[in-house]
């Protein structure tokens, strides 16, 4: 079997055990550390933009999945008559946990490439740890001592990566949570 490649006049030979394009490793500009020049710098800049977008989308996915997990615990698990984890009420929890793991993995891969391309963005895109992606299933008393010092994980205030100044302003703005005034 022969395939005509993307480059003109280049023919790629495939072995007898297959040549699945889906399983081929892609080479991105961030992996070309030994190349220099204006062309590769432009490609690396474009990849950085795409990776930042991918990281921001993954963070949004993490926030959405954690919200869905919270809802699932409240509406399905808490109202079930048994706590056996192999039943239908826990199926949604298992599905959402695997989706959360996927979004966290996508973000961390993008974060490593972003930091490799631009070290100055390390503080803006910190690694996303498993312990930061945990929701509490306990019913909390808002007036309990110590509740005012409780803080959310950094990604709840991250809009385009994490910026401490904008995260503090978002946290201080109490009106942002009001539906109607």
pLDDT tens, residue by residue, 46-77 = 999 999 999 999 999 999 999 888 888 777 66
Confidence band, pLDDT 50/70/90 cuts, at residue 126: very high
Q: Are 164 and 157 in contact (CB under 8 A)?
A: no
- Pick the residue with more confidence: 33 or 168? 33
Tell me how far the alpha carbon of residue 137 is from its chain's centroid: 22
Entry pTM? 0.68
Which of 91, 125, 95, 123 has its CA nearest to residue 109? 125
- At a CB cut-off of 8 Å and minimum separation 6, what does 61 contact? 99, 102, 103, 106
Residue extents of the structural domains in the chain: 2-135
Which range, 66-75, 139-148, 152-161, is most confident? 66-75
């Amino acid at each position: 079997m022969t395939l005509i490649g993307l480059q003109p006049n280049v023919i790629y030979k495939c072995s007898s055990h297959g040549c699945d394009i889906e399983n081929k490793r892609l080479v991105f500009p961030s992996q070309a550390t030994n190349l220099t020049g204006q062309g590769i710098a432009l490609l690396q800049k474009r990849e950085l933009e795409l990776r930042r977008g991918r990281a921001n989308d993954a963070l949004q996915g993490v926030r959405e999945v954690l919200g869905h997990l919270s809802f699932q615990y409240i509406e399905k698990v808490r109202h079930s008559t048994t706590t056996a984890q192999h039943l239908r009420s826990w199926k949604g929890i298992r599905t959402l946990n695997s989706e959360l793991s996927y979004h966290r993995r996508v973000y961390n891969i993008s974060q490593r490439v972003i930091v490799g391309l631009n070290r100055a963005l390390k503080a803006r895109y910190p690694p996303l740890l498993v312990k930061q992606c945990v929701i509490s299933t306990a019913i909390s008393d808002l007036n309990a001592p110590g509740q005012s010092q409780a803080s959310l994980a950094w990604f709840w205030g991250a809009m385009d990566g994490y910026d401490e100044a904008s995260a503090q302003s978002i946290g201080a703005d109490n009106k942002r949570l009001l539906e109607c005034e």
